[in-house]
Amino acid sequence: MGFFSTLGEIFTILKHVFSQVFERPFTVLYPYEDREHPERTRGRHIHIREKCTACAQCVRACPVVAIRIDKSDRKYEKDAALYFDYTRCIFCGLCVQACRFNALFHTKVVDLSEPERERLHYDPERIETLDRDPLEWRGSRFR
């Protein structure tokens, strides 16, 4: 390898390094900051009970038995309570696809880690709401 080709390579590397200095960083200061997740992100679910008809199609569609339905627990005329087990869920989205009544959705909340495994069993009340602002929750937990 000649002197000039080595010099050329060094120049190319330096050019790349200096161009990156003025670029925005690819990383964010997680957990204090978060990226905007894509529209079709399959994060934790939210159950809209007013729209639920207790048809249990979501339960049947789940390949890992992560959803349990309690039809005796009613808040509205036809709904049912859903329990989600996030120790089993693989976020495949089949339950959301199976719901013909627009009663079940994915949210963009993807960081579900908990200090205790039991906290990954979401009861109906928790699955009906976004129970925490993810940024606020992470901030208080990691600071």
Report helix, strand or coil for 24.
coil
In the complex, the smallest distance separating the C-beta of residue 75 from ligand SF4, rounded to whole angstroms, is 12
Q: What are phi and psi of 129, to 5 degrees?
A: -135, 160
Instruction: Report the residue from 67, 81, 109, 127 that binds ligand SF4 according to the rule CB under 6 A.
Output: 67
Rounded Cα gap, residues 121 and 70, in angstroms: 15
d(CA 41, CA 52): 22
For residues 94 and 26, give the distance between their C-alpha atoms in angstroms, rounded to a whole number: 32
Q: Which stretch binds ligand SF4 (CB under 6 A): 3-11, 30-38, 94-102, 120-128?
A: 94-102
64 binds ligand SF4 (CB under 6 A): yes
Site string for ligand SF4, 16-55 (x = CB under 6 A): -------------------------------x----xxxx
Strand arrangement of the beta sheet that strand 81-85 belongs to: 67-70, 81-85, 121-122
Closer residue to ligand SF4 in complex, CB, 62/109 = 62
Binding site for ligand SF4 (CB under 6 A): 47, 52-58, 61-62, 64, 66-67, 69, 80, 89-95, 98-99, 101, 103-104
